[in-house]
Amino acid sequence: MSIRVMGIDPGLTRCGLSIAEGGRGRAVTPIAVGVARTPADAELPDRLLRLSNAAEEWMDRYEPDVVAIERIFERGNVSTVMNTAHAVGVLMLAAARRGLPVHMYTPSEVKKALTGNGRADKAQMTTMVTRILGLSEPPKPADAADALALAICHCWRAPLLARAKEALR
C-alpha cells in the first residue's frame, strides 16, 4: 500500500511544495516539486491569500493523503518568524478543510531521518534527497529540496506511526 505525502517547507516569501509517494520499504517516488512565491511588497493578507490558493491548488491537483510541514523555530528575525507562523496557519487550514492529517517535523528530525545526522548541512541533504529519489541530478528549484526531504521523512515515518496507532488500540 502506498501513501502520497505533500511536503511543505513553509514561508511567505518562498514556500517549498512537494509531492512524493512512499511504498514498500524505503522506496520513495517523487511526483512534483516547486516553490510558491509571494511579492514582498504586497499586503500581508493578500500574500496569505496567494499562498493559500497555491497550496489548495496543489492539494486539489495531486490529492495527497497527508501533509508534512516543517515545524518553526524562533530563530532569526522576529517579523520573518511571525510571517512564517501566519503562513503555517493558512497551510494547516487548507489541509484541515480537506480532512487531511498534518504532521510537523523539526529540521533536525528531517536531517536525522535522511542522513542519520541531525546537523547535516544543505549539501549533504541535497545529495541524500537526490539519491533516495533515484534522480540523475539534484531536484530543481534548489530551494525546494527541503520540501522533498520533509515528504521523504514522512513516507518513512508513516508505517511506524501506523503501527504505533494500531498498538494503542
The site for its own copies (CB under 8 A) is made up of 43-46, 48-49, 52, 72, 74, 78, 82, 85-90, 92-93, 95-97, 102
| Long-range contacts of residues 54-58, Cβ cutoff 8 Å, at least 24 apart | 54/15, 54/17, 55/8, 55/15, 55/17, 55/90, 55/91, 55/94, 56/94, 56/97, 58/6, 58/17, 58/19, 58/32, 58/34
Indicate the burial class of 119 (C-beta count within 10 angstroms; 0-12, 13-18, 19 or more): exposed
Q: Which of 9, 63, 109, 166 is catalytic?
A: 9
Answer yes or no: is 121 a known binding residue: no
Indicate the residue among 44 and 135 with the shorter CB distance to its own copies.
Answer: 44
Q: Measured from the CB of residue 168, what is the shortest distance to its own copies in angstroms? A: 16
- Which three cell numbers mark 91? 497551510
Q: In angstroms, rounded to a whole number, what is the distance separating the alpha carbons of residues 81 and 59?
A: 25
Answer yes or no: is 9 a known binding residue: yes
Examine the residue annotation and report whether 143 is marked as an active-site residue of this protein: yes
Examine the residue annotation and report whether 121 is marked as an active-site residue of this protein: no
Answer yes or no: is 60 a known binding residue: no
Q: Measured from the CB of residue 39, what is the shortest distance to its own copies in angstroms? A: 14
Q: Which of 46, 70, 109, 166 is catalytic?
A: 70
Q: Measured from the CB of residue 81, what is the shortest distance to its own copies in angstroms? A: 8
Place of cell 511544495: 17
Q: Which of 56, 65, 109, 143 is catalytic?
A: 143
Query: What residues act catalytically?
Result: 9, 70, 143
Bind-site residues for Mg(2+): 9, 70, 143
